[in-house]
């Protein structure tokens, strides 16, 4: 921007100079400030797209997880039915698994002994 001697020193500034140059600086200055912050706003919207998962999206993920969990459960029931039928020397169609319960992977010795005894008695 060309600045006249009067605007540089402040001596002999006219009203037209004050409004003309001041107005131009205002337009340019505000345009730059808005431009920089507009760019930052776009960057922040990109942040939202890249990093943010809306609650709806999170819900969908949870539903999908639950669906896959129920598929796993069906497989487990099928395996248990087949295993029980094999132990009982009968057809899997005659065995129905009503409920199952995951037991501790490393139960105490007395607990394992009791469970074995019960199972053997039943067989």
Contact region for other proteins (CB under 8 A) — 12-20, 75-83, 91-99, 115-123?
A: 12-20
Gap between the Cα atoms of 25 and 18, Å rounded = 10
Query: Residue 62, interface with other proteins (CB under 8 A)?
Result: no
Choose between 48 and 122: whose C-beta lies nearer to other proteins.
48
Query: Residue 44, interface with other proteins (CB under 8 A)?
Result: yes
CB of 17 to other proteins, least distance (A): 7
Tell me if 123 sits within 8 A of 116, measured CB to CB: no
State which of residues 23, 57, 80, 100 lies at the interface with other proteins (CB under 8 A): 23
Query: Residue 123, interface with other proteins (CB under 8 A)?
Result: no
Query: Residue 19, interface with other proteins (CB under 8 A)?
Result: yes
Choose between 47 and 100: whose C-beta lies nearer to other proteins.
47
- DSSP readout, 55-119? HHHHHHHHHHHHHHHHHHHHHHHHHHHHHHHHHTTS-GGG-------PPPSS--HHHHHHHHHHH
């Amino acid at each position: 921007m060309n600045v006249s001697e009067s605007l540089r020193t402040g001596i002999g500034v006219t009203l037209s100079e004050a409004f003309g140059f001041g107005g131009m600086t205002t337009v340019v200055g505000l345009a730059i400030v808005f431009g920089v912050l507009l760019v930052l706003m776009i960057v922040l919207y990109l942040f939202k797209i890249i990093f943010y998962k809306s609650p709806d999206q999170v819900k969908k993920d949870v539903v999908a997880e639950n669906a896959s969990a129920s598929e796993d459960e069906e497989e487990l029931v099928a395996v248990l039915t087949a295993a029980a039928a094999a132990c009982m020397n009968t057809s899997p169609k005659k065995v129905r698994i009503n409920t199952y319960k995951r037991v501790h992977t490393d139960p105490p010795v007395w607990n394992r002994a009791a469970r074995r005894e019960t199972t053997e008695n039943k067989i």
